[in-house]
Amino acid sequence: MPFNLLKYGLSSEYPVEVDLPAPKELKSSYDVVIIGGGGHGLATAYYLSKYHGITNIAVLEKGYLGGGNTARNTAVIRSNYLTSEGVRFYAESVRMFEGLSNEFDFNIMYSHRGQLTLAHTDATVRSFRQRAEVNKHFGGRTEMIDRQQIRELVPSLNLDPGHLPVIAGLWHIDGATARHDAVAWGYAKQAAKRGVEIHQLTEVQELVIENGTITAVKTNRGTIKCGCAVQAVAGMSSQLMKKAGIRSPIQTFPLQAMVTQPFKPFLDPLVSSSALHCYVQQTSRGEVVFGGGSDPYPLLNTRSTLDLKESLLAHAIEMFPFLANAKLMRQWAGITDMTPDYSPIMGLSPVNNYYLDAGWGTWGFKATPICGKTMAELVASGGKVPELIRPFGLERFSTFQQVNEMGATAASH
């Protein structure tokens, strides 16, 4: 039996340690105010306190800790992107994820599974090959594999769904999953230990900007002065940017996901098919999680729909016919801030001392560690943009320097 459990079992007092300290009064002023207590905001706070000695920080969360998209995403970790900028950035994130449990002293259950993406058309094969090559160029482990190799990796997969037979796969060996909530809690626990204050049920209602510089935030619990502020509010990014008077290129779409009852393990890799708009993974609890494409129109609401569930599950059954007999337990939605080039917005904003961490679409979770680390560098340096995130600045949309991650489209002529 692992030592920690013995410690818990034999201790008469529980808890042996506290993860999240009890709520406190707000102070009137902080060096750094981080708006949004999800994975990104908490990671930024943690790295500020760990590497930069900045601890006079308030993380403000309007709901509960990690209750936004941190709680709602399907916890896929990968770095098989299309652009050099993207691959470099996400590869560093994957590397950091691997060490988080020990760094946090809290098991995030990082589960190295590999990610398999299926190609049903030659157009997809083309774009996959490019992704594989770009990955390899930066030392990532991604390979094109054929039908036989796919069969060996996932014997239960149907390689001939309808009129879209699988012709090849993109095998991203570094693909992984982790307990998404635990990532937020791990950051929160360690940040709190270093003196960061985390305030839940604290909603930022207004930003106080004087002479183009942010000086304070007004919350439902009073006004707080701040040296600088970071916004990390996935889903509500455009709304908050509007409050800061910043024009945003973001459109927000609901993204739905669903989960079955738990079953004994049958699927190790994360499997997805862009032609079938479906991705499937089995969690460590044995539940099968499904995700698909975003809803067709913009909406700032996390309601679920029947239509999406119908088409997504029909496709899931095409991929894994035996899942017809599995039972769905829960359906939910998150809202995703989509940018025109499917890359995030990180860095400076037109408001002095106001830093942006936004536009994370459907790929925010997998970037949590590296995003927190680079945002912390940005904040600590007083606005010197780290090399790794320089391509992701907001200004790229007016200077036409976008980082296109839309992928080569799967269209054919």
Window 183 to 202, contacts with another protein (CB under 8 A): 185, 200
Residues in the chain: 413
C-alpha to C-alpha distance for 72 and 32, rounded to whole angstroms: 27
Looking at 25-33, 36-44, 108-116, 365-373, which segment touches another protein (CB under 8 A)?
108-116
Q: Looking at this protein, which amino acid is placed at residue 202? A: T
Kindly state the DSSP code that residue 352 receives in the 8-state scheme.
B
Q: Of 26-34, 124-132, 203-211, 232-240, which segment contacts another protein by CB under 8 A?
A: 124-132
Asked if residue 314 binds another protein (CB under 8 A), the reply is yes
CB of 2 to another protein, least distance (A): 4
Tokens of 9: 């079992």
For another protein, the closer CB: 195 or 321: 321
Q: Is 412 in the site for another protein (CB under 8 A)?
A: yes
Strands 168-172 and 115-119: antiparallel
Binding flags for another protein, 141-180, as an x/- string (CB under 8 A)? --------------xx----xxxx--------------x-
Q: Which of 24, 27, 126, 390 binds another protein (CB under 8 A)?
A: 126
Beta pairing partners, 111 = 177
CB of 274 to another protein, least distance (A): 13
The residue within the footprint of another protein, chosen from 141, 266, 293, 299 (CB under 8 A), is 266
Choices 50-58, 208-216, 327-335, 367-375 (CB under 8 A): range interacting with another protein: 327-335
Give 30's contacts (C-beta < 8 A, 6+ positions apart).
56, 57, 58, 197, 224, 225, 226, 227
Tokens of 260: 């079955």
Round to whole Å and give the CA distance between 187 and 318: 39
User: Does the footprint of another protein cover residue 25 (CB under 8 A)?
Assistant: no
Per CB under 8 A, the segment of 19-27, 28-36, 222-230, 378-386 that binds another protein is 19-27
Any residues with CB less than 8 A from the CB of 333 and at least 6 apart, and which?
Answer: 72, 254, 255, 256, 257, 295, 302, 303, 304
| 71 is a site residue for another protein (CB under 8 A) | yes
